[in-house]
């Protein structure tokens, strides 16, 4: 018996930029794709793929496709790095994916111009 996440819970969208390679000036990302799912902010200690404990600042729950570690994800205008993605398997059968996200600090030109009001 397959249990699906109700559509009314899948009201958020994430724009995923898959990391393709590492270039001279930083990561090279591929074509964006969109995931429908459920976005939850909240801090959670997780282990990354190198075995380090890190703090995720949000989780995106989706049926798929999946975002991989080091992909860049934008949800509600905020940019995150993917720490890890896990298949959740209650009763031994795949149900959904949980994508753990860590916020990325984005440089803002307004701060350089003397405007430090984030709501301006």
Q: What is the structure's pLDDT at 118? A: 52
Closest CA to 32 of 21, 48, 22, 20: 20
pLDDT one-digit tens code per residue, 57-103: 999 999 877 889 999 999 999 999 999 988 887 777 778 889 999 99
**Three-state secondary structure call for residue 89:** coil
CATH of 7-107, one of 1.25.40.80, 2.40.30.130, 2.40.10.270, 2.60.40.1180: 2.40.10.270
Q: What is the structure's pLDDT at 3? A: 63
Rounded CA-CA distance 89/22 in Å is: 33
Q: Is the pLDDT of residue 110 over 50?
A: no
User: What is the average pLDDT score of the chain?
Assistant: 84
Is the pTM here over 0.95, yes or no?
A: no
- 108 vs 10: which has the higher pLDDT: 10
């Amino acid at each position: 018996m397959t249990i699906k996440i109700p559509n009314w819970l899948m009201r958020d969208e994430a724009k995923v930029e898959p990391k393709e390679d590492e270039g001279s000036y930083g990561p090279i990302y591929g074509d964006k794709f969109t995931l429908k799912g459920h976005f939850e902010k909240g801090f959670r200690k997780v282990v990354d793929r190198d075995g380090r404990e890190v703090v995720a600042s949000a989780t995106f729950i989706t049926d798929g496709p999946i975002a991989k570690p080091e992909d860049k994800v934008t949800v509600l205008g905020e940019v995150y790095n993917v720490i890890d993605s896990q298949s959740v398997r209650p009763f031994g059968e795949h149900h959904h994916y949980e994508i753990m996200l860590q916020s990325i600090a984005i440089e803002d030109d307004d701060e350089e111009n003397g405007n430090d009001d984030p709501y301006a």
